[in-house]
Chain A
Amino acid sequence: MTTNTQPRAELEAPPVARRRIRLSREMTKTLVVTVVILTIVAVAAGIVSGSTTVLTQALVTGVLTGGIYSLIAMGLTLIYGVLHIINFANGAMVALSLYLTYEVVSIFGVHPYLALVITIPVMMGLGALVQAVLLNPVMRAPIHTQLLITIGLALAIENLLLLVFGPNPLSVQLPGNTGVPVLGATVELSRIYAFIGSLVLVAALWLLLKRTAIGTAIRAVAANPEGARLVGINIKGIYILTFAIGAAAAGAAGTLIAPFSTIQPTAGAIFNLTAFVVVVLGGMGNVPGALVGGLVVGLTEQLGALIFPGQSPLLAVFVVFLIVLFVKPKGVFGRAS
Chain B
Amino acid sequence: MSTSTESTEAGVTVDEVVIGSLHPESGSSAADGQQMARGAQYAVDAINEAGGIESLGGAKLVLSSADTQGKPEVGQSEATRLIQEGAVALIGTYQSATSANVAAVAERSKVPFVMDISSLDEILDQGYTYSFRLQPNATLMGTQGAEALIAMGEASDEPVEKVAFLYEQGNFGQATLKSFQAAAEEAGVTVDPVISYDAASVSDMTTQVQQVAASGADVLAVAGYYRDSLLVSQAVDTIKPDLDAVFGVANGAYDQPQFVTDAPNGGEGYFDANYHWDVTNDAAVELADKYEAEFGEPIRTGAVLSYDAVMVIAAALEESGTVDTTDLRDAIADSSYEPLVVSNGPVSFDEDGENTNASIVVMQVQDGAIKQVYPDDRAESDFLYPAPVN
Contact = CB atoms under 8 A, between A and B. Distances in A.
B2 interface: no
B195 A314 contact: no
A15 B213 CA distance: 54
A64 B207 CA distance: 12
Given A168-B297, A309-B193, A310-B196, A273 B201 contact: yes
Dominant secondary structure of chain B at its interface with chain A? helix
B211 interface: yes
A159 B34 CA distance: 14
A186 B196 contact: no
A199 B74 CA distance: 41
A105 B160 CA distance: 42
Interface string B193-235: 1111110111110111011011000000000001100110010
B210 A57 contact: yes
Contacts of A44: none
Contacts of B207: 54, 57-58, 61, 302, 305-306
Contacts of B237: 179
Contacts of A260: 203-204, 231, 234
Contacts of A179: 237-240
A152 interface: no
B204 A61 contact: yes
Contacts of A49: 211, 214
Interface stretch (B22-30, B89-97, B355-363): B22-30
A171 interface: yes
Interface string A180-192: 0000011110010
Interface in A303-318: 305-306, 309-314
B206 to A, nearest CB: 5
Dominant secondary structure of chain A at its interface with chain B? helix
Nearest to B238: A179
Q: Which of A264, A265, A269 lies at the interface centre, i.e. has the most chain B CB atoms within 10 A of its CB?
A: A264
Interface string B27-50: 110110110000000000000000
Nearest to B174: A310
Interface string B177-202: 00000000000000001111110111
Given A53-B210, A171-B262, A314 B203 contact: no
Contacts of B31: 166-169, 264
A65 B203 CA distance: 8
B156 interface: no
Contact of A187 (B193, B202, B208, B238): B238
Q: Which of B210, B231, B234, B237 lies at the interface centre, i.e. has the most chain A CB atoms within 10 A of its CB?
A: B210
A167 B214 contact: no
Contacts of A269: 28
B325 interface: no
A190 B379 CA distance: 38
B214 A53 contact: yes
Contact of B196 (A167, A168, A306, A312): A312
A336 interface: no
Contacts of B258: 168-169
B26 A186 contact: no
Interface in A35-80: 49, 51, 53-54, 57-58, 61, 64-65, 68
Contact of A186 (B204, B239, B261, B262): B239
Nearest to B29: A167
A54 B30 contact: no
Nearest to B31: A167
Interface in A60-108: 61, 64-65, 68
A281 to B, nearest CB: 16
B27 A57 contact: no
Contacts of A265: 30
Q: Which of B26, B33, B261 lies at the interface centre, i.e. has the most chain A CB atoms within 10 A of its CB?
A: B26
A273 B200 CA distance: 10
B336 interface: no
B387 to A, nearest CB: 20
B27 A266 contact: yes
B255 to A, nearest CB: 15
Contacts of B230: 262
Nearest to B30: A167
B112 to A, nearest CB: 28
Contact of B214 (A54, A65, A187, A312): A54
Contacts of B261: 171
Interface of B: 26-28, 30-31, 33-34, 169, 193-198, 200-204, 206-208, 210-211, 213-214, 226-227, 230-231, 234, 237-240, 258, 261-262, 297
Interface of A: 49, 51, 53-54, 57-58, 61, 64-65, 68, 158-159, 162, 166-169, 171, 178-179, 185-188, 191, 260, 262, 264-266, 269-271, 273-274, 302, 305-306, 309-314
The 4 closest A-B pairs by CB, nearest first: A167-B30, A179-B238, A167-B31, A57-B210
14 contacts: A54-B214, A168-B258, A178-B238, A179-B239, A186-B239, A187-B206, A262-B226, A262-B230, A270-B201, A273-B201, A305-B207, A306-B211, A313-B198, A313-B202
Given A57-B207, A158-B26, A266-B28, 11 more contacts: A57-B206, A167-B33, A168-B258, A169-B258, A188-B234, A262-B227, A264-B227, A270-B227, A305-B195, A309-B194, A311-B169
